[in-house]
Each structure stands twice: as C-alpha cells, then as structure tokens.
A and B are shown apart, each in its own frame.
Chain A
C-alpha cells in the first residue's frame, strides 16, 4: 500500500497527514472537531482502531444490559471521503525518525502529525487467581459480551465486582440487570471514594443496598479461589475473612494509561504512566506527537473522565489548524446516575483548600445528601457533593470560583424550598460559567445563541450550540437561560387562545365543553383559524371517540385531510388507504383492492406502513370507492389523521426460524385497539418478533421487540426530518402489562403534548424525561393511571369506523361532491398524465402568482 502525498492542485496549503491512534470517544471527538473546522481541507486523516467496530459511547455501556443494542451506542460516523478509518488494525510501533506508524497488519502509515488516543486498560490487581476463567473486566463491548456469556452459564447465580468506584458500580448494575445476586467490594471506607465524602458515600451505599446489591466497604480482596478441576473462578476471599462463592468476578479497580507505544518510542511518560504533554496536549519530547484523553499525562496526572478528554481533543484540533487553544484545565465535575441513584461531585469536593468550610445537609429520610465547600470567608463556592437529589448540580457547578448568590444552606435546600434546584441561580452566573461541561458551552455562548441567533427553545439551543446533547444534565439550566434572556416561552396556541394545547385539553376535560364555538367564546377570542380549529377538533375527538369527526360543527374544524377522511394530494385529488392491521391481508382482500383501483383508475403503491395506497381519487369518487371497500370488510386506515396509523410487524414466530414471539398477532391486536385514537400528531408503531428487529420498531412512536421472556417496549422514536431511535421504557413485559403500559403512554401523550409534537419531541421536552415517563405510567407517580386507563377503555369501546359513519349519513355524504351545483361533474381543473402505466398528477407546480383560469369553453364544462 502506498501513501503518496496527494496534490491539492488548488493552490491552498498542501495536504498534511494526520494519524490518530485509537478510536474511542476522545479519538472520535478529535476527528469530528478537526473535520468540522478544517474548511480548507488541510488534513488527510487516518484513524487506526484496535476494536473491530467504530467508536461508541463507552460511558453508556451499561445500557446494553437495559436492552439497548450496540447500534444505539454508536457515535456519529465520520465522512468516509475525508477520514480513513482502519478498524481492527491497531498501531504496534512508532518510528519517530521516519514519521511512520507500524500497524498490526504490517502496514507503515506516514504522518505529519500523530495523535495518541489509546485510552487506558483496566487494572487487574496481582492477586492469586485473578487471571482465572470467570475473572473479567468492564471496558469494551467485547467485555460486555464476555460478562453476559459468563452470567448466562453462571451456576452460583452470584457475581462479585472488585472496586466500588464509578466503573465498579456500573459493572454492578450490569450484573444486577443480568439477574445475578451482586456484591461490590471496595477497599475504601465508602463507595466512590474519589468523588464522594463519607456522608455521601454512606447514603449511596445504603440506597444501592436497597436495590439488592451487597456492599462490602473497608475491605480488600485476598484472592480468587479456583476450581481444582476446571481452573475457573469458584469464589472470592476478602481480607476480612468473608468468603463469597461465585464464578463471575469483574475487576473494576481503576485503569492504567495505554502508553506502551510512547514508551517504546522514547517519549517521556509520567511517573504513574501517561504521555507527558504540555498545556496544548503536545508531547514534551516530540512536537509532532500529541496525546489526548486517558493516555495523556497533563498537569502531572492522567484523567479518567470523558469531559476533560473532549476538552483535550478540541484543543488539539484547534492547534492542528493553527489556533491558539490551550487545555482549559481539568474539570473533574461529575454527575451521573448509578443504579438509579443520582450522584454529583464538583470542584474541591473534599475540601482540601486551606481554611475551606463545609456546609452539609443530610436528610436520611428523604434520602438526599448535599454538601457545599466554601472559602474561609463563606463567600466563594469551592465545590460540592450531591447524592440522591442532584437537581441543583447544573446551577451549582458553574458557580465554582464565583461569589455565592445566596446563603449556602439555602442553596442546598430542596427545590420546593427555593434551593438551587428552583432555578433562581442561573441569572447570577457570570457569562464565563460553563453550563454544558460535555461540550464546554458557556452561559455567554448560550445567551448569544438566544439573542443573536434567535434560538427560541431548548431544541434550537441544542442544535445550535450542542449544549445539552451530552449527558443532558444541563437541560434545565438551558430553560432558565432562555427565560433569563427574555424569551417568553409563549404557550399560546394562536391569536385565538392564550393556552397551550395541553392546557386546552385540561380545560375541555374539566368543563366538559364539546364544541369549538363554546370553547373559543368562553376561553378564547374571535372565530378561530387553521391552527386552533384542528387542534381543538383533535382534543374533542381524543376525549370522545363516539362522536364522528364530521358531525355538525366539527366538520368545519377539520384540517385538510381529516376534512374528507382522505389525504389530499398536490393536484387536489385524494388517496385512499384502508386499514390492513399488522400488514396481514388475505388474497381475497388484496384482489378487492386491485379491482377497486382498476375500476376507478387509481394509482397504487405499497406504503412504508405495510398497506396499500390508492391515489388519484376525485372527491366525488370517494364514497363509491369506500362503499366497495367497506362491503369487502375494509375500514378507514386513518392515514389522513393525527391518529394511530399502523403497527408494522415482521412475520414473527409463526413462520420465521428466528422469531421468539408472535409479532403479527400482537401487531394486529394493538392496531385494532388503538385505531382511530386522535392524538397531537400521527402515531406509528411496530412489533418485531426477535432482536433482529425486521419491523424497525425502534424507529416508531412505540415499538415492541420480542424477547425470550416477553416484550421490550421502546417509546419516542420516529423517522422523518430528524430520525430518532425509540428509547427502552421497560423490559420483558408480559402481554397484559405491555398493553396497559402502552395504553397509559399513549393517553399521557395525548393529554400533555403540544400541537403537532410527536412523541420523540414530547419525550425530549418532558421534564424528567424517560425516567419521569416510566414513573408516571409504571409506578403511577402522578396518581393518574386510573384516569388514563379509563380513557383508553372508553376509546376502545366507542371506536366506530369513520368511513362507515359517512356512508350511513346523507348529510356527511353531501360533503363529497365536486360542485354544490353539479355534484357529479369532475372538476375540469384536475387532469392526469401517465407514468409507468399509471395515472399521476400533471407534473410541475403552477408558478407562484395568479392562476391561469380555464378558458370559458374549458373541457368538462356543461
């Protein structure tokens, strides 16, 4: 393989070659950062990756045990045209004089600049038996697979994690989710000794214990005992004499930098490992070599957190492009959920500053612990620890080094008592305060995005600044910044109502109002518009499935497609989509569809939702078409409504060799259950019969994937403009629990979402996110589940086919005429062309401006 230096041929700076060794999160970030800023294309990038897969979110590794699959963890792909990513071909030697890297495959890759991003390896203490089969580590997806396999064949049913730090608790969560009785062994007197003090650690230990994890603190591991016959691990002996029988031991007792390449090449390494770099992340030995992330020894130490790693990646990217950036200093602040327990630690959490004072609020009853470390004059915040309730973190952390806006005890008080969680603090922050530590976004940058770039809501801020797209903990702070910048988050639906859709829903529910006229007269103004009328129509329909959507005044509220129970096409004709539940259809019905299409001259196409679209129907043809379809047993597919559309399915266990459950049966049941339910936006669903996910359920508003034990339920996915994978709401549900949970999810969404807000955006905006949703629909934290259940029962009982309702009512049929004075005359302004043997609209839009009216003797005129 040659690496000839390509000519740029454009007169710009010559292309230089960057080799990045390692494709973890930090290596990935470096490439992304460089690629996005390298407008002149100065650098040709090659990445040498050890793992056979591209970079993934290692921090979220434990979500693999919560049902997420590998693809959910994957980080965005690099542009393959710009970045040569060589998977499974790690670097094995550096030739600094020749400026080449030797790879495992024997290739020599030349570089002008080299970035080491090799990360670290788990530290396995040199104990007897520590390398026996059954002793594992927790760092990569392969490690996860090994742990899963070992758990599957475990005979003791017990797993032991050595190490009670951040990684150890993540590993413990994994073992717990795999169904093992889990023990954690920690040498320090309490869990997470690096981040927490004794009080916080003790509370964490207690809460973790309540989840069934046994914690052994203040004791070391003496040895791993092995089975004399197999040589595999059979137990762990602790230094306090405790013996734990187990065949699965996970070591999570720290990491060591992977600096072998650097050592062998004569680069200076730190006392405790790591490539020694200056404040620009450049090797102090060789200016062509840089190091980022856990392999870098900066300011005399290595850092095992992703946020400082990202900061290093940004620094190097800037420097490679001639910038002046320097490493901003390690922010070791952490906020995370371990086994469901919120933990945050920031600044001088251990009060090592001389004279530092500690203010502690310890509430064992509410299970919260908070500590603020302040300067000796109690004026400046130095750091803090929060366990249990971490809602104050986004506002407290940026205050480190600044004057306290209030008395420390007040800041620690719970949100309800006006503490930091109440959000008053963000206004007092300086512009330099970092709000999003994952992406290093300051309050100043966010304020500017609001005032200069017109970001008016959290999603806009997210896409503009990236803030809130990492761990998400700063999202509440983003809202406060919007408010502080004077952005009135107006909830008004339109000029006719000052209320949001959700508020109108509650008004309708509380007052029992059943008409738009009454609602707008009593709670709004004017006659309504194309925004509020359909929104109110949908609210009325959601609450009352028994009344036809075209009954009386409601007929005047409906939007374009609902108005004629068909989707209006660009030329004013309509499409007809009968329901085909689960995509299962008999040959006889399929033939009916074909005959109807043929007889009415309709264009036919298979939809993405596993049904058949018949296009090109004129308004006045719809009743006749639907009479034929209804007679054959078809009913409305609601393709026109903000309603449940389809529940897509794979063939499932009935036919498929891999299927583990009857996905078609479930899809049909769900589609029939929820058909006709009006919602703030369309709802799509899918059911897959096994983890291969052929129904693409995770791209749906609700998706169900079969497991050996039952069903996994995912919510909040969609395709469309911004594709989003659905998130796992619950695992291994039995049939009845699954249906009940979906019932509540749908009704909660219907009740609280904004107009035209799909479940994905709703979930993103939902205060408390997925955890809150889970609490509401599974633990009834709001006490509304009985109402939600009753609402769904009512819907199921009251459902009636809307098209049948039209065919049975002459008043509604009168809507389906071309002209009030010539009911059956085809509109002469509609004409068709033929394409691939089917009728299609005459191509090309009419140019903007006055329409060309048909001539006086136009075709079709009587």
Chain B
C-alpha cells in the first residue's frame, strides 16, 4: 500500500508503511511528532523489539521479510504485561500478524485488530524510515472508525 509521506521529512521508499495514514487525518496531523528509535539494522526480520517513546509508553516494532516495519502498542491488552514485542510474527491468510506470547491472542500488525476477540485492538503507530533510522509517530491511532470498523 502506497502511503503519502508526511511533509517535511525525507522518506526512503520501500520500507516504511503506515497503513493508517490513508484514512487518518483526524488523529495524525501533518505535524505529528516523530521519534527516532533505532537503526533498521537493529531490528532483525520477524523478531520484535520494544522501543520507548518520550511519553514513557512503549511500542513493539516488527520488521517483516518484505521490509515493511510496523509499530503497535507493546502492552498486551489481555494480561496488561508489556510483552507484545516478544510475540511470534507470521500470517493469517496472508495478512501479517503477531501472536502475543502470554495468551496467544493474534493481532493484525497493520491495524492492531485482535482476530481472537471482538473490539480489542492494539494502538498502531505510523512508522517511517529516515535514512537508516526508524522513526515512530508518537501519536497512537486507536480510533475504531479509522480502519473502517472491524
């Protein structure tokens, strides 16, 4: 999915995805704050890592074999533990997902939507790559309607 790059930043083309942007103008303003978290190389393929945001919350970062990078909230909504980054990355019917390590609930990486429980979702953060560095939007996209309901 092609995504218009937010203004004022140079974005390398192939890697960064921010699915949410296509439907969001309400919560992600063009002047969203971006937080540089780590070089792309620090993120092995399909092995998540947590990153701390300036507000003290954490995101789970995942790099797919396609090069896409996703950021979702690191707190497991079922246990309350900060463990989503330790989940197993895979796919369900071709859609990239992560399965939480404690209760094995599965979430879509692009939308945060939980496939095993209704109305549960992880917050999703926009991601972009500036040079070799992964940057994560500090805004959480959590409004249901943004992804067309679930």
Q: A-side interface residues toward B, CB under 8 Å?
A: 495-496, 526-530, 532-534, 553, 555-557, 559-560, 563-564, 568, 570-572, 814-815, 817-822, 825, 827-830, 845-846, 848-862
Contact = CB atoms under 8 A, between A and B. Distances in A.
- Name, among B56, B102, B104, B140, the residue most crowded by chain A CB atoms within 10 Å (CB to CB): B56
- Name, among A527, A568, A827, A857, the residue most crowded by chain B CB atoms within 10 Å (CB to CB): A527
B61 interface: yes
Interface stretch (B7-15, B24-32, B36-44): B36-44
15 contacts: A526-B90, A529-B97, A530-B90, A532-B90, A556-B89, A568-B86, A568-B101, A818-B52, A821-B37, A827-B50, A845-B79, A848-B117, A848-B120, A852-B80, A856-B56
Given A568-B86, A846-B79, A848-B77, A556 B44 contact: yes
A862 B38 CA distance: 16
A818 to B, nearest CB: 7
A556 B101 contact: no
A494 to B, nearest CB: 9
Contacts of B97: 529
B23 interface: no
Contacts of B99: 529-530
Contact of B101 (A557, A560, A854, A859): A560
A751 to B, nearest CB: 24
B81 A529 contact: no
A533 B88 contact: yes
A859 B56 CA distance: 8
Nearest to A814: B42
B56 A861 contact: yes
Contacts of B132: none
| Secondary structure class of chain B's binding surface, majority of residues | loop
Interface in B97-140: 97, 99, 101-102, 104, 106, 117, 119-121, 123, 140
Nearest to B86: A563
Interface string B82-95: 11001111111110
A571 B78 CA distance: 11
Given A848-B78, A850-B120, A534 B88 contact: yes
Contact of B51 (A553, A555, A568, A821): A821
Contacts of B96: 527
Contacts of B91: 526-529
Contacts of A845: 78-80
- Name, among A526, A556, A817, A845, the residue most crowded by chain B CB atoms within 10 Å (CB to CB): A556
A570 to B, nearest CB: 6
A530 B37 CA distance: 27
Contacts of B80: 571, 829, 845-846, 851-852
Interface of B: 37-38, 42-47, 49-52, 54-58, 61, 65, 73-83, 86-94, 96-97, 99, 101-102, 104, 106, 117, 119-121, 123, 140, 142
A829 B90 contact: no
Contacts of B86: 560, 563-564, 568
A184 B59 CA distance: 78
Contacts of B121: 850
Nearest to A850: B77
A860 B56 contact: yes
A570 B50 CA distance: 18
Contact of B55 (A495, A822, A856): A856
| Secondary structure class of chain A's binding surface, majority of residues | loop
Given A527-B96, A533-B88, A828 B50 contact: no
Contacts of B140: 853
Given A556-B47, A570-B81, 20 more contacts: A528-B91, A529-B88, A529-B91, A557-B88, A568-B101, A819-B51, A819-B58, A820-B38, A820-B50, A821-B52, A827-B58, A846-B78, A848-B117, A848-B120, A850-B77, A851-B75, A852-B80, A853-B73, A855-B55, A860-B56
Contacts of A568: 83, 86, 101-102
B142 to A, nearest CB: 7
B101 A861 contact: no
Contacts of A557: 88
Contacts of B47: 555-556, 815
Nearest to A550: B47
Given A829-B82, A853-B73, A495 B92 contact: yes
B90 A527 contact: yes
A814 B83 CA distance: 16
A530 B61 contact: no
B52 A825 contact: yes
Contacts of A495: 92-93
A819 B38 CA distance: 10
A455 B1 CA distance: 44
Give the 3 A-B CB pairs with smallest separation, nearest first. A846-B80, A861-B56, A858-B56
A820 B61 contact: yes
Contact of A829 (B75, B87, B89): B75
B46 A556 contact: yes
Nearest to A818: B50
Nearest to A534: B88
A820 B51 contact: yes
